[in-house]
Amino acid sequence: MTDPFFDALAAALAGQVATALGTAGAAALKKVRTLVRRKSDDDPEMLAALEAAEEPEAEQPQITALAERLDRAAGADAEFAEQLNTEGAELVRVIREGDTITAGDSSVVNVLNGNAEKVINARDVSGGITFH
C-alpha cells in the first residue's frame, strides 16, 4: 500500500483534479510535474508510469502504478523525496482536505479522492437527500 501522499500526487499528475485547482494549486502541480519529469530522465519506469497515468483514458490502475513508482523512487532517493514533499505540500493539502475551490464564475467544484458508492455533487440543496 502506498503512502496517501503519493496517491494524491499521482491523481493530480494524472489530471484527475487539475480543473479544480486554484492558481496556487495549479502552480504547485506544474512544479511537481516538472520534478517528476526531471526524475524520469534517468528512470524509464517513472516515465512509463507518468505517461500512462496522463493518458485521457487512464483509470485507477494507471494512477496507482504511478503512486507506487513515486513511492519507490522517493524511498530510494532522499533528495527527490524532499523535493517532492516540498513542491507537492500545497497540492496535497488541497486534495487531502477536500477543499472546496471556487472557480472564477462562482461555481463550486468538489474534489473527491478515493472510492465512493454514492456521491452527490450539488450547489444548493433544499430539503433532504435519500439514498436507496
pLDDT confidence of residue 114: 60
Query: For position 69, what pLDDT does the model report?
Result: 95
Q: Which residue, chain included where needed, has cell 467544484?
A: 109
Dist CA 3 CA 13 (whole Å): 16
Determine the pLDDT at residue 46.
93
Whole-angstrom distance, CA of residue 126 vs CA of residue 24: 33
Q: Within a 10 A sphere around the Cβ of 115, how many other Cβ atoms?
A: 6
Q: Where do the domains of the chain lie? A: 4-109
Cα 129 from Cα 7, distance rounded (Å): 30
pLDDT of 107 reads 40
Distance of CA 80 to the CA centre of its chain: 18
Alpha helices, DSSP H, located in 41-76: 44-54, 60-76
> What string of pLDDT tens digits covers the 132 residues of the chain?
777 788 878 888 887 665 556 666 777 888 899 999 999 998 999 999 999 998 888 888 998 999 999 999 999 999 999 999 888 887 777 666 554 443 333 444 455 556 666 766 666 677 777 776
